[in-house]
Amino acid sequence: MSETTPRILITNDDGFEADGLRALREALSPLGEVIVVAPTIEKSASGHSLTLTRPLRFVEIEPNFYKLDDGTPTDCVFLALNKLFPDDPPDLIVSGINRGGNMGEDITYSGTAAAAMEGVLQGIPSLAVSQVYRHHCEGLEELGYRLAKKSVHDLARKILFEGFPLPERKFLNVNIPPIHPEECAGIRVTHAGHRVYGNNAQLHINPRGQEYYWIGLPNLDWHPRSHPAGELSDFEAIREGYVSVTPVQLDMTSYEEIERLKGWI
């Protein structure tokens, strides 16, 4: 950590005007200097994508607050480290607070998780934070981000003053249950569950008679499965009213299949 005031880089995938980004900034400001670099427009489900086919531009909104013109969350982290932290990296990167959960295999789609991925690729402790809501963000205005703000503040404080608990190329994926703070059962360390996926795409016709599609929003369902160590999945923890904290590694090798694959080859 820096010898002086800790510096925290934050971003999200809902755009620079997102309420969750504002809530994250408020939650972390008491811990140090917060620098915001966020996409100009929503980049949900952008995954770990970099923009390679067009130039990108920083637009300063106010001191320590930038939007990256049409950039992805990964662009935001990658270029922020180049422009704003060329010689002295931030002490922590936090992505969020996302509007909606990022559990199970949704981690691979998530722009929120991708920003944390980029952070640990660059050797910086990182976490992604998502607020789970009921069907289609039901209860968003009622619940707000109170539990998420408290949770991310406490986790960030622990990281900054006690150290990051994971080795290199691993980050924390945090999901907040859709409940009030006083209803929270605590924090559970979890594994990523198995999401139930459909193929919901809605066909429409525009005024010129041309077909177009909207990709729909899937329900938050999952496949129950046991885990050798007995941990809850992220889905189960959220259902039971816990904040879910999942350690995620970027090495996606299926090691248990290596010997089987050698035999098959």
- 172-194: per-residue pLDDT in tens? 999 999 999 999 999 999 999 98
Whether residue 211 is contained in a domain is answered as no
Q: Which residues contact 25 (CB under 8 A, 6 or more apart)?
A: 10, 34, 36
Whether residue 104 is contained in a domain is answered as yes
Whether residue 50 is contained in a domain is answered as yes
Residue 39 has a pLDDT of 97
Report the alpha-carbon distance of residue 122 to residue 17 in Å, rounded. 26
- Coil, strand or helix: which one is 133? coil
Calculate Rg over the CA atoms of the chain. 19
Whether residue 202 is contained in a domain is answered as no
- The per-residue pLDDT string of the chain (265 residues; one tens digit each, 9 = 90 and over) reads 446 899 999 999 999 999 999 999 999 999 999 999 999 999 998 999 999 999 999 999 999 999 999 899 999 999 999 999 999 999 999 999 999 999 999 999 999 999 999 999 999 999 999 999 876 566 667 788 999 999 999 999 999 999 999 999 999 999 999 999 999 999 999 999 987 776 777 888 989 989 887 776 666 676 777 666 668 999 999 999 999 999 999 999 999 999 999 999 9
- 207-229: per-residue pLDDT in tens? 998 988 777 666 667 677 766 66
Q: Percentage of residues in the chain with pLDDT exceeding 70?
A: 92
Count of domains forming the chain: 1
Judge whether 121 and 171 are in contact, CB under 8 Å. Answer: no
Say which CATH number the domain at 259 has: 3.40.1210.10
Whether residue 56 is contained in a domain is answered as yes
State the alpha helices, DSSP H only, in 15-84.
Answer: 19-28, 73-83
Running DSSP on this structure, what letter comes out for residue 134?
B
- 241-257: per-residue pLDDT in tens? 999 999 999 999 999 99
Whether residue 113 is contained in a domain is answered as yes
Q: What is the pTM of this model?
A: 0.91
Domain housing 45: 7-191+230-264
Whether residue 100 is contained in a domain is answered as yes
Whether residue 212 is contained in a domain is answered as no
